[in-house]
Homo-oligomer: A and B are copies of this chain.
Amino acid sequence: MANHLKIFHLNGFQMRHGGEINQGILAYETWGQLNEDQSNAILILTGLSADSHAASHSERDTAGWWEYMIGPGKAIDTDKWFVFCASSLGSCKGSTGPCSPNPYTKQAYKFTFPDLTLEDIANSAFSAIQSLGISQLACVIGPSMGGMSSLALILQHPQCTRHMINIASGCHSEPLSTAIRSLQREAILLDENFNNGNYSSDEWPTKGMKQARKLGMLSYRSGLEWKDRFPRKLRQRPHKPFGIEFPVESYLEYHAENFIHKFDPVSYIYLSRAMDWFDAFDYAKTDRCNPFKNVELQSALVMGAKTDLLFPTHQQKEIAELLSKTGCNSTLKITDSIQGHDAFLVDEENYSAEIAEYLNQLEI
């Protein structure tokens, strides 16, 4: 993977809420070949915890987070498309973020990192795209947070792409979704080791990060899936009172342990808040205006799963309908997937088929 990582330099990059990034970088990867008239470019904007490694580049490479979707002959066919995916600005996966050193002080930014919005994530990725000589994308694809970042992109750059695939997202976060993320941020902020962002690898806000991750996991999946996945049977009674004894508890514990050192706590809360701040209706002149009024999309595929707790399907319906009214050929596909918000990552059959069908009929 390492030798496939590319760097785009951010200098004088203006952040939406003020402040700018200098001597910053965006780490990205690409798959497939850009054609001569630069008309086959697909930008993937990622979910909160994903990175640029959406798929492997060769058989010896490690699998990416959307491995089943991207590659030669797959739904996002890299024999046809030039695919670009960056680690989000503000993340901790190679691109500049709160745990990167501030070039002027040489100290990690932490809370001196400028406010981060999904607009900044979208703009920085699009700047990198433009640096490759691409003035218009064939398609932007965004699941989850990436779906909202895609909206942020087209709202700011109405002609930036001809098509869009928007998955498990909404025009904004609804209060239940915000409440869950608020609790995740609070768990991290309240951890005594968090220490206003001045934690070290020896004194890591482990408890807060674990709680945040567990809460994430239960909101990313669905009760329907877990019902059949975990046996009722209790494990042996734990040695200490109120230790782990239910199968679902060990599952959460295992995955939380796995996650906590893979993500920087300050980055996490910056990205999480960016999701709650985003509102497509900020771009509508009045409450009754269609925020996508000026967007020049030819077509869009909007997808969601019936069991998604974080972004219920009426939110995908809203996106599809608003886009339709602008003359965009917009298709809504709600799947019966039982895997909840994460369905796009695991329900390979449904998501592969829909995305392949949509992309295959696009002209380059």
Q: Which residues of A contact B (CB under 8 A)?
A: 111, 172, 174-180, 182-183, 185-187, 189-190, 192, 207, 211, 214-215, 217-218, 221-224, 226-227, 229-230, 232, 234, 241-242, 246-249, 252, 269, 273, 276-277, 279, 281, 309, 312
List the 3 shortest-distance A-B pairs measured between CB atoms, nearest first. A176-B223, A175-B226, A175-B248
Give chain B nearest CB distance to A134 CB in angstroms.
34
Contact A242 B183 (CB under 8 A): no
Copies of this chain present: 2
B-chain residues with CB within 8 Å of residue A279 when the two chains form the complex: 232
Contact A276 B246 (CB under 8 A): yes
Contact A176 B222 (CB under 8 A): yes
Can you report 21 A-B residue pairs in the complex whose CB atoms are below 8 A from each other? A174-B223, A174-B227, A175-B246, A175-B248, A176-B221, A176-B222, A176-B227, A177-B223, A178-B248, A178-B249, A179-B214, A179-B217, A180-B218, A182-B249, A186-B214, A187-B187, A190-B207, A192-B192, A211-B211, A232-B281, A234-B277
B-chain residues with CB within 8 Å of residue A224 when the two chains form the complex: 312
Instruction: State which of B172, B175, B185, B226 has its C-beta within 8 Å of the C-beta of A179.
Output: B226
B-chain residues with CB within 8 Å of residue A111 when the two chains form the complex: 241
B-chain residues with CB within 8 Å of residue A234 when the two chains form the complex: 277
Given A242-B269, A273-B242, A279-B232, do A223 and B183 touch, yes or no (CB 8 Å)? no
Contact A242 B185 (CB under 8 A): yes
Give chain B nearest CB distance to A248 CB in angstroms.
4
